[in-house]
């Protein structure tokens, strides 16, 4: 039997070169599932995405998904993609196993925590404040430009290190910060905070509403200055994020963490965050 991909709709392209197209997974012409292929909107054709790969229950455990994934990679190579990414729910054990067998490795994961509802005394289950000597204060308008520039520089450096051409990394950083922060520190629903300890600014927090369906609040960035790390300030910032999220009526808080950031992973796990999705990648040689 022959497993192939058959387009089920027209290819959609955006002005900046992103592409998307749905396909049926077919066995001898008979549809047995589907997959959506696309390119990352931030980085044009450099990075392809494999989304919503599904095989009907009656056709599973016959290698259909494996062949379909390999065929999808060939399509993305034809589009000029240098690598492919896929996101897999944490509960989808067989899909994670398939991805590992095909050479995908985890780059990052989404983690989510359920927050207790607030009470008259404050958010239940969340400490009332930072440890002694630590104070979270709003970021000022004067501090915002330097903070934003540092974030943008780090973001570009990170993606260049991942093999993204500098001009595409610069374009991506614009998308990253323009939409969630249209009015800077005055953006509605957003909290930009600075952690002060012992008279020094030791870290920053960016908290806002989530675009991820499984959670209501999102930690966009939490950062402790290198010279102040290893002293519990990351925990203080995260507990502050939970207090603000709960006080705003948001019952779930999520974040994305890179898999190789072991200290951060351990911190989030110790605070009760659990993975809901694994974000995988594979070079297309």
Whether 237 and 123 map to the same domain: the answer is yes
Residue 170 has pLDDT above 90, yes or no: no
71 and 160 in a single domain? The answer is no
Q: What's the pLDDT at 18?
A: 85
Q: Which tokens belong to 133? A: 């000597």
Question: Best-predicted range by mean pLDDT among 12-21, 128-137, 185-194?
Answer: 185-194
Q: Quick one: 40 and 133 in the same domain?
A: no
Mean pLDDT of all residues in 153-179: 83
Average pLDDT over residues 186-191: 92
Other beta carbons less than 10 A from residue 194's beta carbon: 18
Residue 36 has pLDDT above 50, yes or no: yes
Same domain, 16 and 143: no
Give yes or no for residue 112 having a pLDDT over 90: yes
Task: Count how many domains the chain has.
Answer: 2
User: How many CB atoms sit inside 10 A of residue 112's CB?
Assistant: 23
115 with 76, same domain: the answer is no
Supply the DSSP symbol for 126: S
Does residue 285 sit within a domain? no
> What share of the chain in percent tops pLDDT 90?
74
pTM metric for this prediction: 0.89
263 and 180 together in one domain: yes
- Domain residues for the domain of 252 are 111-279
pLDDT at 180 over 50: yes
Where are the extended beta strands (E) located within the chain?
Answer: 3-7, 12-13, 19-27, 30-39, 47-55, 83-89, 105-114, 118-119, 122-123, 134-138, 191-197, 200-209, 217-224, 252-258, 274-283
Q: Is residue 98 part of a domain?
A: no
Is the pLDDT at 120 greater than 60? The verdict is: no
Q: Are 162 and 172 in contact (CB under 8 A)?
A: no
Q: Is residue 205 part of a domain?
A: yes
Q: Are residues 76 and 142 in the same domain?
A: no
251 SS3 class: coil
Query: What is the arithmetic mean of pLDDT over 26-50?
Result: 90
CATH of the domain at 253: 3.40.630.30
- Same-domain check for residues 25 and 140: no
Residue 259 CB coordination number (10 Å) = 15
Question: 138 and 200, same structural domain?
Answer: yes
Least trusted range by pLDDT, from 21-25, 182-186, 257-261:
182-186
Q: Which band of pLDDT confidence, cut at 50, 70 and 90, is reported for residue 121?
A: very low
Is residue 92 domain-resident?
Answer: no
The reported pLDDT for the residue numbered 176 is: 74
Look at residue 104 and tell me if it is in a domain: no
Q: What is the mean pLDDT of residues 133-161?
A: 91
Question: Do residues 154 and 196 share a domain?
Answer: yes
- Nearest CA among 250, 254, 192, 184 for reference residue 223: 192
Would you state the pLDDT for residue 117?
A: 65
Residue after which a domain boundary falls, among 64, 81, 98: 81
Residues 214 and 276 sit within 8 Å (Cβ to Cβ): yes
Q: Does residue 36 belong to any structural domain of this protein?
A: yes
Which residue do the tokens 């990075």 mark? 47
Token representation of residue 119? 């009470």
CA pair distance 246, 161, nearest whole angstrom: 36
Assigned domain for 195 exists: yes
73 shares its domain with 131: no
Domain boundary among 62, 81, 100: 81
Q: How confident is the model at residue 122 (pLDDT cuts 50, 70, 90)?
A: very low
Asked, for residue 95, whether it belongs to a domain, the answer is no
Of 54-58, 144-148, 176-180, 205-209, the range with the lowest mean pLDDT is 176-180
Residues 120 and 176 in one domain: yes
């Amino acid at each position: 039997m022959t497993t192939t991909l058959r387009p089920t709709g027209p290819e959609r392209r955006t002005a900046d070169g992103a592409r998307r197209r749905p396909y049926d997974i077919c066995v001898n012409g008979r549809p047995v599932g589907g997959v959506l292929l696309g390119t990352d909107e931030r980085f044009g054709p450099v990075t392809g995405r494999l989304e919503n790969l599904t095989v009907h229950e009656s056709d599973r455990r016959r290698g259909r998904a494996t062949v379909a994934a390999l065929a999808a990679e060939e399509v993305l190579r034809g589009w000029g993609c240098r690598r492919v990414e896929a996101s897999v729910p944490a509960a989808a054990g067989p899909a994670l196993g398939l991805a590992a067998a095909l050479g995908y490795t985890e780059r990052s994961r989404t983690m989510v925590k359920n927050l207790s509802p607030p009470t008259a005394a404050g958010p239940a289950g969340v400490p009332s404040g930072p440890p002694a000597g630590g104070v979270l204060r709003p970021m000022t308008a004067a501090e915002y430009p330097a903070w934003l520039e540092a974030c943008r520089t780090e973001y570009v450096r990170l993606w260049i290190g991942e093999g993204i051409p500098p001009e595409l990394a610069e374009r991506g950083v614009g998308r990253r910060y323009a939409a969630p922060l249209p009015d800077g520190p005055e953006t509605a629903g957003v909290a930009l905070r600075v952690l002060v300890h012992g008279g020094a600014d030791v870290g920053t927090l960016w908290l806002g509403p989530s675009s991820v369906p499984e959670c209501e609040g999102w930690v966009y960035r939490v950062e402790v200055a290198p010279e102040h790390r290893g002293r519990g300030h990351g925990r203080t910032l995260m507990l502050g994020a939970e207090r603000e999220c709960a006080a705003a009526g948001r019952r779930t808080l999520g974040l994305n963490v890179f898999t190789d950031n072991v200290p951060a992973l351990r911190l989030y796990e110790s605070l009760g965050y659990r993975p809901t999705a694994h974000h995988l990648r594979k070079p297309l040689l």
